[in-house]
Amino acid sequence: MIEAKDNATGRALLFDIDGTLANTDPLHLKAFNEVLGPHGHVFDHARFSRELQGFANVSIGERFLPDEAPERRALILDEKEEVFRALVAGQIEPLPGLMALLDRADAAGVPMVAVTNAPRLNAELLLSGLGITHRFKGLVIGDELPHGKPHPLPYQEGLRFVGARPETSVAFEDSRTGVQSATAAGIPTIGIRTSLGHADLIAAGAVASASAFDDPDLLAPLAAAMAW
């Protein structure tokens, strides 16, 4: 169980990883097609964003590999993650403005937490590849909890880890399931438009959307929310 930390201001920034810190979704799409294609499932970008993006592997296996035993599903999806990690190695670039935002949060004493449905190996690889592992006070893995996204539990755990309140925090997400998870936890959520458009992110519950972390439409409201 994660122990809550003291946080006098109650503020925090909570980030999804894939598609939010770095635009890795095209590589996930390629890996899914390589591994699930032989099982009769081929995805384009639109289908990926509807049916795969942001979902935990357990639910993906149940949906697309229903005739396989659970152990076999897990092996197939582990293979997908191995393919993804091979594809992403050496190709991890932060979204524009990310590093400046992390610097500003650190300077203001606002703790940051990463919250993801990705397997731990993937999450740690991406954070390490971006050189930002040390920036985050916690890493919440949805698959390691009783419920992953879109359930609010992953974000509730992220808040508890740094002793933050939902109403004075901000979450960043790029998927429907992620936005639903963060908003269900009561956190104002900004959608990052790496895969989905503004309308889809708002429909999922985001209060605003931005193209990246240097988007002028993001910076002013974020500064106001964080009291910077």
- 140-154 in b/e form (b: 16+ CB < 10 A) is bbbeebeebbbbbbb
Specify whether 16 is catalytic: yes
pLDDT band per the 50, 70, 90 thresholds, residue 187? very high
- Give residue 6's pLDDT: 64
For residue range 153-184, what is the model confidence (pLDDT) as tens digits?
999 999 999 999 999 999 999 999 999 999 99
- Give residue 123's pLDDT: 95
Which residue, among 187, 199, 172, has the nearest Cα to 116 in the 3D structure?
A: 172
**What is the residue-averaged pLDDT of the chain?**
93
Q: Which of 16, 25, 174, 200 is catalytic?
A: 16
Specify whether 44 is catalytic: no
Could you tell me which residue, 223 or 38, shows the higher pLDDT? Answer: 38
Over range 68-73, report the average pLDDT. Answer: 95
pLDDT band per the 50, 70, 90 thresholds, residue 5? low
pLDDT band per the 50, 70, 90 thresholds, residue 90? confident
